[in-house]
Homo-oligomer: A and B are copies of this chain.
Amino acid sequence: MLGSGNLATNLSLSLKKAGLHICQVYSKTQEHAKELAGLLDCEYTTTPEKVFNADIYISAVKDSVCTEVWDKIKFNNKLVLHTSGSLDMQLLKDYSNNYGVLYPLMTFTKKRHIDFTDIPILVEANTLKNCESIIEIAEKLSKKIQIVNSIQRAQMHMAAVWANNFTNHMYAIAKSITEKNNLPFSLLLPLIDETAWKVHDIEPIEAQTGPAVRFDENIINKHIKACPQEYKQLYKTISESIHALSEHKK
């Protein structure tokens, strides 16, 4: 396992739980390498040149440093996987004849251990045989495997930014509004949950309610006026986008 961040931690713990043997953790940060190796009961190293020979190498280091790490490892033509939403699979072709991608479509935090069973895993490989090998690993983790190409994976990563990072920012803004008004953010949690649950049953575009989709300029203007200065423009831009989408639907 190359890496010891949020994804490396969650993924390697789930792989171990699924019965796979992780022989070693590499991380450039001694403290993180040691901590994860402790959880996995395996060896660790902070020197890429000292990475053990293995049957499978799973890279979960940051996109920006991965080639720098890979450059120093001898992969002996064994199966090398990366786990990134954005990195082109072909980056791996200089390192082994056997390579692919195992991308779990999820947001990870070290302290929140997530059950992989329902996490969709997007799989890509350079050969059919390698694809089968990756699927075999993925199926030990999850019920939801989807074979994709690099373009689809990059697009899903972007869709995930909307569904996760941008959504979370909407929560952060809502929280700052509740705080400014001495009200608990927890009042919004049932609404946040229902908003998420609703799109399991109803298309998001059909589920839309509120002043923007009704184009209720009276309330929109009241809200922009009452909105914290730094979010006024964003309120306006998103409202316009909601209205444009609902017009396009008609």
Contact = CB atoms under 8 A, between A and B. Distances in A.
Contact of A161 (B63, B201, B212): B212
Contacts of A105: 187-188, 190-191
For the residues of A in contact with B, the DSSP-based class is: helix
Interface stretch (A47-55, A72-80, A131-139, A232-240): A232-240
Contacts of A159: 173-175, 177-178, 188
A163 B195 contact: yes
A193 interface: yes
A187 B146 contact: yes
Interface in A111-167: 112, 114, 118-120, 122, 144, 146, 148, 151-152, 154-167
A163 B174 contact: yes
A97 interface: no
23 contacts: A64-B216, A105-B191, A107-B194, A107-B198, A108-B209, A119-B190, A151-B181, A159-B177, A161-B211, A162-B170, A163-B188, A163-B191, A164-B191, A164-B192, A166-B242, A167-B167, A167-B192, A169-B245, A189-B200, A193-B196, A193-B197, A231-B241, A237-B237
